[in-house]
Structure 1
Amino acid sequence: MAKWLAQWIENIAVPPAIGDNTHAGYRGDIEKHLIPGLGAHRLERLAPEHLEKLYTTMQRNGSAPGNAHHVHRTIRTALNEAVRRGHIASNPASVAKAPVLPDAEVDPYDVDEVKRLLKVAAGLHRNSARWALALALGLRQGEALGLRWEDVDLDGGVLWVRQSRLRPKYLHGCGGKCGQRAGSCPKRVAARPITKATKSRAGRRRIGLPAQLVGLLARHREEQAAERARALDMWREGGWVFTSPTGEPVNPSTDYHQWKALVRKAGVRDARLHDARHSAATVLLVLGVPERTVMSIMGWSTTAMAARYQHVTDPIRRSVAERVGGLLWDSEAEGDSGSPVSTADVGERT
């Protein structure tokens, strides 16, 4: 097992066949858990029970169920390749019971909370339109930060999602002599590109812009032009829609902290930045937008994603309850008895 896992991560499951982040996740699982826990087993004799024992041991030692589940996916992928190459006849990870993931409780912002966030965001001095894209259209963080002006057609009222901003990763440019982390090295060098192309067909999409959002983006472009003029030679032009004060693309970490500051300033309950995407999807549910259209806007490849991201909120529940009550208890027909109307009455009104 140790030999196969090393071969797989060093020579098979490597960029550009997979993403840098995916590769780093696989490598972490292999070095920290899979080789220490399973490396001594012979590949062809590995059994589902060996994997289940590893997952149990991980969780008893403090690993979260999500970490154990990630290890399960990594070993399943590595062994699928072993099956494909004829090293083993079947994949024991396909039989082993995966660690159970607790259901993540997501309580998206309701319409009033979204309005409050948009109102406060509109008063920000920089990049206020960025939050409108998240709350109104559900763009992922990387998709919003990866936008260039060439992807936005304000006259036509559309934007194209073509690429995603990556989290920066650096290597020492000094050979490690500075004694600092690679990200703080005075001579640091980038270890990955700024963006990557959206890999799925569903993720590459064209989205219509509400008129209000067109106006926000137009004003944002004017503000950016003024900022560019003030920065003079310090400006680093890259065509980014959202930038630092000197034109560089916004760092995802900076974006996260700006989101938290917006939530505090708006006085709404704290939530993850990604929960704004759940809120946008739920707004589309409230509006009754057809599922296929929602999939196109959100960049989903399967209808199952609607069940994951669209939530029946309390206002929706109240609206449904009122409609049910209006159908079953007609105030004019029931008089003082409080009795539901008959099916015949309903049929006549229909």
Structure 2
Amino acid sequence: MREQKVTLTLADYFWNTWVESKRFKAYKGNSARGHLTRMRLHVLPELGDKRLVDIDRDDIRRLFEKTLPAKTIEKGRHKGQHYGVEQTRDIWKTLHIVLQDAVYDRRTARNPMEDVRDTDKPKRAAGGAEIEIPSGIVVALTKTLRKTEWEVEQVRWMLAVLTGIRGGEALGLTWDRVTGVLDGDDRPPRITIAQQYDRIDIPHGPGCRPNKDGQWACGVQARSCPHHLERPTARYEIVPWTKSGKSRALPLTRRMRELMREQATRQAHWRAENPAEWAAQNAKRPDLAQLVFTDTLGRPFRRQDDGKRWHELLDAAGYPDFDVSAHKTRHIAVTALALEGVPLPVVGQIVGHASEEITRVYTHARSEDALKYLEAIDEKYDAEERAQENARLVEQMTLTPEEIKERRESRRAKYRADLAAWKKRNSNGIEHDLFAEGADPKPQDPDVPSDLGGFHRHPQFAGADEDLAAF
């Protein structure tokens, strides 16, 4: 047993122990896929052959300071670009989890990542992911979606932009989760989000492992792996969970009720035009028969096609340079809600965040928005000051000469008492440095006109009264 512990490599531990553990099996969907992909493509090609007990701080620093910064994305829209801060942080977190579990499993004595200084660890960009939400994008997107060519996906993207619903949650929404929309349904209008349309991962067949470069030995996708005894089927299903692990009820506004009703009418029209195709699709996948968002033949949208259409929508709306994934509709929705003054806990409830801190990360305020709100605050304070000054002037206008004299004498009496007490505390007659700790400034004579109060008596402010008088 001791010999196995000493000779166990990171790759052996990852594939034979960690991937088979309860810890890994607790991850779902994209989380599980992310851990597998990051280890297979980025970590194991560099550290997989090293014994767990030999991996040290220098190996970790070399991976994150030299190897990863030199790598580029090999395919997709961002092919040729270097990996960003967020991707690097995700790789760091995955490797840290695996090595920490190796410590818990007593396969190594210490997690070498704990020996890396905090200053050398990959950091989140200040304020979260650096995304500048373009001004006016929500209006531009909704106007574009009203055009005929976007009829099929209109409601799907409207819902995303206005409520921040996740892609899988939207594509997995079924009509039995929608209330108060269809004729005869008097229940409160809302949708209940407790499921999503997700890919059920098909593992490679028994014995198939990645090569040193991270590519699978069989050379094909998992569903076609020759190591399978039987070829697997159905890759996408409606799964009864959301990313946050909680269900939520989303109230529908009047506008969203109308859009959902239009979607039901469209589907009825498509079904009447293509009865054979709809019947065949429902017979093939009865579990998907109640989907709210389908194509004209009743088929669900593929996640890949969904992302492609999002970029086409950005182009059509006039934002081709806003090159972000469809998931960033959540950032757009959260930012729009926050700028409308919706409290962050309420925003988090709408979009399904697990905590308010996540909502803060998703909230992006543009510089012009910050200026707008600062100017609004200034105007508010100016208005309050003007109101107070007007109230004081009105009060003076309503006082009799006797009352004004009485108030002046009261202020003079208070000043004389304060001055006597100050002279008693400062019997040498020397005024203290007002900027020193525990300063005891001389009381201000209420009949001396100075906006600087007692400060004009300090040498640093010599001549201040004359300057003010000249002004």
TM range (shorter): 0.7 to 0.9
Aligned pair 1:156/2:188, yes or no? yes
2:145 aligns with: 121
User: What secondary structure sits across from 2:331 in the alignment?
Assistant: helix
Aligned pair 1:135/2:135, yes or no? no
Aligned pair 1:239/2:290, yes or no? yes
5 Å matches for 1:200-211?
203-211=246-254
Q: For residues 217 and 109 of structure 1, do their structure 2 counterparts lie closer, same or farther at Cα, with a shift above 3 Å needed?
A: farther
Higher RCO (CA-CA < 8 Å; seq separation 6+): 1
1:107 aligns with: 132
**TM-fit CA distance, 1:204:** 1.9
Distance 2:33 2:380 in 1: 56
User: What secondary structure sits across from 1:206 in the alignment?
Assistant: strand
1:337 aligns with: none
How big is each residue's C-alpha offset from its partner over 1:173-194, in whole Å with a ceiling of 9 and x where there is no partner?
xxxxxx9978899x98536342
1:266 aligns with: 317
Q: AA paired with 2:342?
A: V
Distance 1:171 1:8 in 2: 16
Distance 1:18 1:129 in 2: 31
User: What secondary structure sits across from 1:263 in the alignment?
Assistant: helix
Contact kept? 2:169, 2:242, Cα under 8 Å: no
| 53-62 or 243-252: bigger deviation | 53-62
Distance 1:347 1:122 in 2: 52
Contact kept? 2:337, 2:347, Cα under 8 Å: yes
Q: For residues 314 and 348 of structure 1, do their structure 2 counterparts lie closer, same or farther at Cα, with a shift above 3 Å needed?
A: farther
1:224 to 267, 278, 283: 267
**TM norm structure 2:** 0.61
**TM-fit CA distance, 1:228:** 0.9
**TM-fit CA distance, 1:231:** 1.1
User: What secondary structure sits across from 1:147 in the alignment?
Assistant: coil
Distance 1:5 1:202 in 2: 26
5 Å matches for 1:1-350?
1-2=9-10, 3-12=12-21, 16-19=25-28, 21-63=30-72, 64-65=83-84, 66-96=86-116, 97-100=120-123, 102=125, 104-110=129-135, 112-123=136-147, 124-153=150-179, 154=181, 155-167=187-199, 189-190=232-233, 192-199=235-242, 203-235=246-278, 236-237=281-282, 238-268=289-319, 270-271=321-322, 272=324, 273-314=326-367, 316-327=369-380, 345=389
Contact kept? 2:196, 2:242, Cα under 8 Å: no
**TM norm structure 1:** 0.80
Distance 1:182 1:245 in 2: 30
**TM-fit CA distance, 1:30:** 3.5
Contact kept? 1:169, 1:190, Cα under 8 Å: no
Contact kept? 1:137, 1:280, Cα under 8 Å: yes
User: What secondary structure sits across from 1:11 in the alignment?
Assistant: coil
Contact kept? 2:196, 2:241, Cα under 8 Å: yes
**TM-fit CA distance, 1:86:** 2.9
Distance 1:67 1:266 in 2: 28
Q: AA paired with 1:190?
A: T
Distance 1:68 1:315 in 2: 30
Contact kept? 2:171, 2:196, Cα under 8 Å: yes
Distance 1:74 1:183 in 2: 25
Distance 1:224 1:207 in 2: 22
**TM-fit CA distance, 1:213:** 0.4
The root-mean-square deviation of aligned C-alpha atoms, in Å, is 3.5
| 36-45 or 207-216: bigger deviation | 36-45
**TM-fit CA distance, 1:138:** 0.7
Q: For residues 202 and 344 of structure 1, do their structure 2 counterparts lie closer, same or farther at Cα, with a shift above 3 Å needed?
A: farther
Contact kept? 1:202, 1:300, Cα under 8 Å: no
Number of equivalences: 332
Contact kept? 1:168, 1:190, Cα under 8 Å: no
Distance 1:201 1:347 in 2: 53
Contact kept? 2:193, 2:249, Cα under 8 Å: yes
Q: AA paired with 1:307?
A: R
**TM-fit CA distance, 1:305:** 1.5
Distance 1:167 1:215 in 2: 31
| 116-125 or 137-146: bigger deviation | 116-125
Q: AA paired with 1:163?
A: Q
How big is each residue's C-alpha offset from its partner over 1:245-268, in whole Å with a ceiling of 9 and x where there is no partner?
211211112222222222232334
Distance 1:54 1:248 in 2: 44
* Larger Rg belongs to: 2
**TM-fit CA distance, 1:311:** 2.0
Distance 1:36 1:183 in 2: 23
1:175 aligns with: none
How big is each residue's C-alpha offset from its partner over 1:16-51, in whole Å with a ceiling of 9 and x where there is no partner?
432354444333443444344334443234323321
**TM-fit CA distance, 1:344:** 6.4
Q: AA paired with 2:143?
A: K
User: What secondary structure sits across from 1:93 in the alignment?
Assistant: helix
Q: For residues 307 and 21 of structure 1, do their structure 2 counterparts lie closer, same or farther at Cα, with a shift above 3 Å needed?
A: closer
Unpaired runs of 5+ residues, structure 2, are: 1-8, 73-82, 182-186, 205-218, 283-288, 394-471
| 54-63 or 234-243: bigger deviation | 54-63
**TM-fit CA distance, 1:293:** 1.5
Distance 1:40 1:16 in 2: 24
Q: For residues 276 and 109 of structure 1, do their structure 2 counterparts lie closer, same or farther at Cα, with a shift above 3 Å needed?
A: farther
